[in-house]
Amino acid sequence: MRRDMHRIGPAWEDVVTTHQPRRRLSACYCGKVEFETGGDPIVTVACYCTSCQEVGHRFAQLPAAPPVLDADGGTSFLLYRKDRVRCSKGEENLQEHRLKHDATTRRVIATCCNSAMFLDVTIGHWLSMYRNRFSDDAPPLEMRVMTRDRRAGVELAGDVPNLAGHSGKFMWKLLAALIAMGFRSPAITWGKSAP
């Protein structure tokens, strides 16, 4: 029996060459940090929750930081399975930020240019990659979520569903990805603070 027969799920190379040929590159503003994704995202969203807005404002205060928030106050993400993302360059430049020290959600920036790179719900099976870190070939927005928390006076376009919270479709896409991953949730350590 081959040694790798007991491996759960495909190797990274199998994912990006055989099963999911689509590769996308996410890079920090200065180019010292890069992530490579395999396949299409689970879903593309803009989030208007108060946490994303607060972090967007905090990150905007960092020296020379590129914007995180869209013009309407939302934060656009491409959600990928954790097993379909890899750091291909600059891991040593990553640093996590949490709104509270015991939060299960962490946001990771590239310290070389203060670019927000991804949001990790540590108990989840997906990474929310900041859409503005991808080139122009990023897939279009599918929905806006948590719009009940948007800034006062913001009128949203009607081009995609504008959801007050999270929809059944959103949750179904996440569940389908979890099933496809064999109910595994790989730990992501990029940017973790030393204990």
Contacts of 38 (CB under 8 A, 6+ apart): 12, 15, 16, 20, 22, 23, 84, 85
Average pLDDT over residues 39-55: 96
122-138 tens-digit pLDDT: 999 999 999 999 987 88
Contacts of 26 (CB under 8 A, 6+ apart): 34, 35, 36, 37, 117, 118, 129, 130, 133, 134
Our CA angle for 15, 21, 22, nearest 5°, is 110
Evaluate if residue 101 carries a pLDDT over 60.
yes
Indicate the burial class of 117 (C-beta count within 10 angstroms; 0-12, 13-18, 19 or more): buried
16-37 tens-digit pLDDT: 444 545 889 999 999 999 999 9
Classify domain 24-180 by CATH number: 2.170.150.70
